[in-house]
Amino acid sequence: MGDMSDAYRVQNPVNNKVIESFDFITDEQLDKALADADEAFRSWRETSYEQRGELLRTVASLFDANRDRLASIITEEMGKPLNQSNSEIDDVVDIFTYYADHGAELGADEPIEHEGGTAVLRRVPLGVLVGVMPWNFPYYQVARFAGPNIMAGNTVLLKHAEICPRSSQAIQDIFEEAGAPTGVFTNIYADHDQISTLIADKRVQGVSLTGSERAGRAVAATAGENLKKAVLELGGTDAYIVLDAEDIDEAAQTAWKKRIANTGQACTSNKRIIVMDDIYDDFVAAMVRIAESFTEGDPANPGKGEYYPLSSRGAAEKLHEQVQDAVKAGATLHTGGELTGEGAYFTPAVLTDVPVGSESYYEEFFGPVAEIYKVSSDDEAIELANDSNYGLGGAVFSSDVERARRVANRVETGMIHINIPQAGGAELPFGGVKNSGFGRELGPLGMDEFVNKQRFYVAE
């Protein structure tokens, strides 16, 4: 088959077969896409929030109407079980609807009290934005970039992951069907050099990337060099702190369900599960039982208690290597961690005793690996939670809510939850600190990143 890693392709992770390949965009086509986006901005910026909201509402309804086809596309592209692909469509509908409903108030002028004139803070769109988006939530990630920014009056160029060529084109098709003017939303099969060229072009005003820390560093460097605004969301090693549990089996089930969601391939997965010593042994035993009860499933026909392939064979091999390295460093692999078959199946694993401070400890395990740590005090739990290069999400569990609050209050992270693994909703801001990146998506902050917060002053 040769190395397909550079080309856009649909490669089914169930069996690693390439189903369809797509050519990279030519430099001429890319320049036309940019020119169209820039041209579209001239008129799109003049439209009212009502008109923009109407477009987003139509986009939302088309996602809803085409959900079965859209869901099956990403199930084949990156192996997401069909039921989870379907719930992803729900999130997309929510995001476009949220910005359609609230865009006008979020973008409204704010008067500033001042003697001697009328001062107003306006939110003026910037222009063409480039989005570099990941394969783990192929529609949701794009919606949270495109929805608020198109509502704000910007136009967008989307460079999706190389394994998401059908879903990325499907989003453009929906925008076209919804009546978006040419250039408001454009899918481009660009390579990394072409993205650098775009960021350097004076018609491009900003770049938003969700992806690996490595990709984030590269894009941020190019953006910095060209003085372009950037928003980065770069993964995490989220702490999930269990201070106490009346029902340990139930606590383990809750933790496991969060870790196995999207086959463990979420930036906000509970990647470091930190458990108090008095319940630790029982908790680990429960996690091992749960992991061993899971059987290999077909993402196109999902059932209960099943695990699914990772996004690609390469991703599975990398995870396998990471687990092996952790064991070499002194970690205990209680179960799982095996590559099976030709595809990207990786048996769910439970890992303990990863040496704190080791390379393995600081790495993000992007897949179904439950990493569990034992602590003997709240202070130790907090210290461990904060001993991370990342700070994206996290959660604290306790029957004593005040105790959980005190612990949560000291965790350095962009999003922290008490007694729930993660809250969802288009109205809740999303983003992190430290190497998890900077900037925020979703909620009222999502429309505030790529706008000119302009002082507009009229003397009396």
How many Cα atoms occupy the beta-carbon half-sphere of 153 within 13 Å?
Answer: 21
Of 77, 88, 162, 267, catalytic: 267
Q: Residues near 410 by Cβ (< 8 Å), separated by ≥ 6?
A: 382, 386
Q: Catalytic annotation on 267? A: yes
Backbone angles phi and psi of 71, in degrees to 5 = -65, -40
DSSP code at position 441: B
Nearest to residue 370, comparing CAs of 297, 303, 304, 319? 319
Question: In terms of C-beta density within 10 A (0-12 exposed, 13-18 middle, 19 or more buried), how is residue 255 classed?
Answer: buried
Length of the chain: 460
Give the β-pairing of 437-438 and 229-233. Answer: antiparallel
- Phi/psi at 202 (nearest 5 deg)? -70, -15
Q: How far is CA 228 from CA 148, 206, 221, 225, 373, in A?
A: 19, 5, 10, 8, 40
Give helix then strand counts, H and E, for the chain: 14, 24
> Does an H or E element contain 238, and which?
none
Q: Which helix (H) or strand (E) holds 211?
A: none
Q: How far apart are CA 63 and CA 87, in angstroms?
A: 12
164 is catalytic: no
Gyration radius of the chain's alpha carbons: 23
User: Of the listed 77, 88, 162, 233, which one is catalytic?
Assistant: 233
Residues recognised as catalytic: 233, 267
